[in-house]
A and B are shown apart, each in its own frame.
Chain A
């Protein structure tokens, strides 16, 4: 008979509303055998006790229904972003809050490279926080005048480079490529805006690109998840699903040392058939590559618009504060064809809709598709859905849809939303979780890693506090309870990935996937939630301590 291990903990928060709390959980063959007190475990026969967590708190492993694995590739290089992040190896990396800090970090990285010819690549730069000051060649030349320096901005669309790199690649006053920024005298300043310009430094860009697609990137993504207590993460459509890519995912994720389950959403942005029915059939067929840890063939992703902070989201009237509106990424007719095809193939479709006009198009289209082809339990999910208003949430509920809300935006861009993008009233009701709850919409919350860092605790903190980076509160009426917030990063996110029967609660029969915390979220101040240390995770009963903390 398979061995049974019982884990004891200070407190087990199950997120199973039938049995909210426990002190022991029995695990057999990777699954939860029983939840309760130690005495109650006796019914299952003999077991060994593991007291590793006797002074810790267990939650269901966090579930992230909208993240991207590409961040693991960037971590091959130094991070120079504004906000703190935890590196895959567990090191706490302080944000670079000034240009001086950026230079200091890059100089240290320069000193660490042995080969004097090797380009120095860094990522995460977000000059929006440097009150108008740019980071260009003049700044980066202070890092090195001999080594090429390449800094990828957080937005993904801009790169800053030093003079050495421009010289190597022949970027000069004669360069005509749109996006090579020049000064008043016609000299390039070391800022490349948009892909045509970024391709001017192709050799370095291609080096970065190959890092992003390497299997080490996927391993790092798993480590990032583990360090944040996430046991089920998603790759929501931004990675290729070619046979080679899937083989790489299988090798990495099915390795017993890989600490997370990964759900890969199908998208057509890297090729594949263009006929919607063939596309949907191919997406569904990917299910044959699934395993307990790797899920394919259940979720499809479609993009409708851009981002709010990038001024590319499609907004309802009166649009952005500057009077503009954003961009469509797909034609409405084509969207309907793709949605209908995936829907008919039995997939759950996750639709990127940032602005409220994009949400309108999504609701109109789901309604048409459901009328044409009724289907129970479709779980089609509005992703981001940041400006959705009460009328839209009511419609979403009637259509049986889910919403995955980008609550971290309140902290990371809330201040900009107040003054730059949509103004106070709409900023206050951004990511309106309380409205979603009131109107009966099934909802979860996401980080969109790498847009914001992966992790359930930060999301929960954002949802119950709604505090911006400068400490302002945005829309306190839209705060939700800690219990609802924890549901939204566990079982309610699992629902949207069609895995709520397997993960998301600590409950008999489900996988023994736990987030192990050093403190009880219900016992700390709400503003301290994001700082609760994460010991690591348990995945199918196997212990994966966060790096930098060591095995206890």
Chain B
């Protein structure tokens, strides 16, 4: 599960629209506060059941209902349960509290993403009523999407980025226009789909390949667990997301799943290899300059 937070007007809806249009082949469930400005393309809607829309691309979109926990539990009971859910937190909600729902049985917290409107976030953070709420939301983020960077000057953009770095020291920061960031950053995709490509935003083509770097690594057989942990702990700040299906020397018969979002990472036991040939595969996505392929490879060999 991914939590999408941020104050009103930060661009959560644009990002969700982006996600529903380009779902990267994943069966997504998007839980929104309301359908307010979500543009559900009528042509794509296969069926509607109460407040739940099923789309032709396999995604569903529903409102919160009586209670988030009950809505999430009901999703798991569907005949084709979603592969990942994205929850739109309300404009004043604490995304970290919403993330707790991702620890319910059947779920795994993937990422806490908070949007910040590059134009207004600093002003909002000073607001008498909601200033503290805005600060708190940013502080809880693993990934901050600094949105609407096309509406500010490069100098302002730089200043806002610096400011975000101070108020949310634990978060990784990326920039976006209309909430269009690579799906590989937002979703837990399979390794072969973790590529940063292009997006159409409005009538423009955005090539993300100039804004992000990807590093892929694959080898037969196992990796040294201690070396891997040492590498991950020393990864540069610009590394945003990582995933791996690995064989570790200390657990050679089962897969070990590596997940990284921002500063948080985990190694969890996966399925046994059984008859399959044990191998190790890792993909990392980062900001330009964050990837030192030679050094990473050397660290693992």
Contacts and interface: CB of A to CB of B under 8 A. Distances in A.
A305 B57 CA distance: 39
B34 A202 contact: no
A177 B65 contact: no
A330 interface: yes
Nearest to B72: A199
Contacts of B105: 170, 175, 177, 200
A178 B66 CA distance: 20
Contact of A199 (B33, B35, B70): B70
A332 B69 contact: no
B100 A179 contact: yes
B51 interface: yes
Contacts of B103: 176-178, 196
A274 B35 contact: yes
Interface string B65-93: 11111100100000000000000001110
Interface stretch (A49-57, A321-329, A382-390): A321-329
B152 interface: no
Given A274-B34, A331-B7, A196 B132 contact: no
Interface string B239-272: 0000000000000000000000000000000000
A325 B91 contact: no
A196 B104 contact: yes
Contacts, number: 66
A331 B33 contact: no
Nearest to A332: B129
Given A179-B100, A196-B103, A331 B63 contact: no
Contacts of B104: 177, 196, 199-200
Nearest to A170: B105
Nearest to B8: A331
Interface residues of A, number: 32
Contact of A195 (B7, B51, B63, B101): B101
B73 A202 contact: yes
A334 B91 contact: yes
B70 A328 contact: no
Interface string B131-145: 011000000000000
Nearest to B104: A196
A407 interface: no
Contact of B73 (A199, A268, A274): A199
A200 B51 CA distance: 25
Contact of A327 (B33, B68, B70, B94): B94
A interface secondary structure, majority? loop
A328 B129 contact: yes
A202 B33 CA distance: 23
B55 to A, nearest CB: 19
Interface in A255-276: 268, 270-271, 274-275
B48 to A, nearest CB: 13
A357 interface: yes
Nearest to B94: A327
A548 interface: no
Given A196-B100, A199-B70, A357 B36 contact: no
B69 A329 contact: no
Interface string A50-93: 00000000000000000000000000000000000000000000
Interface in B154-205: none
Contacts of A329: 92
Nearest to B38: A274
B90 A271 contact: no
A72 to B, nearest CB: 18
Interface string A363-403: 00000000000000000000000000000000000000000
A178 B100 contact: yes
A275 B133 contact: no
A195 B68 contact: yes
A387 to B, nearest CB: 16
A543 interface: no
A177 B105 CA distance: 7
B218 interface: no
CB-CB nearest 8 A-B residue pairs: A274-B34, A178-B100, A195-B69, A331-B91, A328-B92, A199-B69, A274-B36, A178-B103
Interface of B: 7-8, 33-36, 51, 63-70, 73, 90-92, 94, 100-101, 103-105, 129-130, 132-133
